[in-house]
Amino acid sequence: MKYDCIVIGGGVIGTAVLDRLATYSMRALLLEKEDDVASFTTRANSGIVHAGYDCEPNTLKARFNVRGNELMWQDVEDLDVPHLKCGSIVVARYNQLYQLEKLAHKAKDNGVLIQLIDRETILKMEPNISDEVVYALYAPSAGIVSPYQLCIAYADRAVTNGAKIKLDTEVIGIEKSEYGYKVTTTNGKFECRCVINCAGAHGADINDLAGAEHYETTFRRGDYFVIDNTERKNINTVIFPLPTEAGKGILVAPTADGNVIYGPTAVDSTSSDDTATSLASLDEIRRSVPGSYKSYAFNKCIRVYGGLRTLIGHDFVVKQSEILDDFIMAIGICSPGLTSAPAIAEYIEQMVVEKFGLIKKEKVVTVMRKHKRLENLSEKDLDKLIAKNQAWGRIVCRCEKITEAEIVAAIHSPLPATTVDAVKRRTRAGMGRCQGGFCGPKVMEIISRELNIPLNEVKKGGGAAIAQYKVKEVE
């Protein structure tokens, strides 16, 4: 099959790019090796929409962070993605004011609005700030989004506007062809005029496959604590320590879905698959958090997890290859990659439009249909829905109050949820206090029924099986 553009990688960068390209009269395809988008780095993102005050001026990070922040708030409204523009603070002690002033100078150079505030002002924002905190840098344009739901929403809108997505499709070869490029995958061969490499942790590998520029890649793992939603009432903004060379530091933040997170750490790694948390890393979070936040509640932890950042030098690599024609790369996208995603997509869109003289479609979907969520429904509206569809009256996930109707809608969304983890990312069924202990089997049954597949073919995600066979059916 021939396409105009093939995007490789189904993280938030790849889906944001596909979403932009889908608004033009062209054939666009995204290839993702996992069984869902948002399955690796994006899944484990902090979900912070950074203001851009700490990026080195005149870098791609600074450029895309600031522009991405501007674009993000409209995107999440149009896509109906959980979000909150709550602002962020970087906290400091008595002898650290000069470090905040250095950040303030960077903010000015990057065009980011900030304020240096004293303890009295901080306490009005965050009554539970540590007693050691005296000063803070406040950035009102910062906030939080659901990172995986943003990625999924970009994918859904792209598909709605005519783009194609192939999951379980790993790229194993790229070569020049008469048409442009021949892309060989584990799920067939495809041809295209232009390749856009958004392959995240494997971005340098894709470059090597194609014969484009070679980049040395390093990795840095970040571990997190997820705290029960009962603690959400104790925090109002994103609280950062002073940044270091390793990153923005161990933050305390609300999530767009109602929990609180502590993390991430910054553990150097040589593996592109290193997401296993470690005791030493989690202990580092335990030691760090009390320095900025005194209402810490490690005893309310419902989950720990790890995510991976990919680094190529000190800046993003977003450009047209100088070796290969019509080969564009967006790789080495570490923090602030999530915030930068809409701006990177806008930049690549402009490159592709200029290359091929693309024309906008006459009709495109900009505002996606609002998701019906039980937690947002009035009793009257819920009664109306139940009268039409009794699945609205059956709660499957008790912790997060998710109904059968919401799960069915996720399974039949533009990019269907076909695994337990895919349903979880779209609905939050399984993300609550019991972590799927109660609702997991019922979610499997619903997937089995809706997709008309045997129960033992329902996967957790990443190809992992859950049920092998019925008890007592085999010897």
Cis preceding linkage at 140, omega within 30: no
Contact of 173 with 124, CB cutoff 8 Å: no
**Which of these is catalytic: 50, 83, 202, 371?**
50
Active site residue 50: yes
SS (H, E, C) 31-54: ECCCCCCCCCCHHHCCCEECCCCC
The residue count for the chain:
475
How far from the centroid of its chain's Cα atoms is residue 250's Cα?
18
The angle subtended at Cα 462 by Cα 460 and Cα 467, nearest 5°, is: 30
Q: Which of 153, 118, 216, 177 is nearest to 417 (CA)?
A: 153
Rounded-to-integer distance, Cα 377 and Cα 390, Å: 15
The angle subtended at Cα 173 by Cα 171 and Cα 176, nearest 5°, is: 125
**What separation, in Å, do the N-terminal and C-terminal C-alpha atoms of the chain show?**
46
What 3-state DSSP class applies to 465?
A: strand
Strand partners, 28: 5
Q: Which of 425, 429, 419, 426 is nearest to 461 (CA)?
A: 419
Kind and range of the H or E element at 253? strand 251-254
The angle subtended at Cα 419 by Cα 416 and Cα 425, nearest 5°, is: 75
The owner of tokens 């069984």 is: 35
Say which DSSP state 144 is in.
E
Name the CA dihedral angle for 276, 244, 316, 307, rounded to a multiple of 10 degrees: 10
The H-assigned helical ranges of 434-474 are 440-451
Backbone angles phi and psi of 108, in degrees to 5: -60, -45
Q: Which of the residues are catalytic?
A: 50
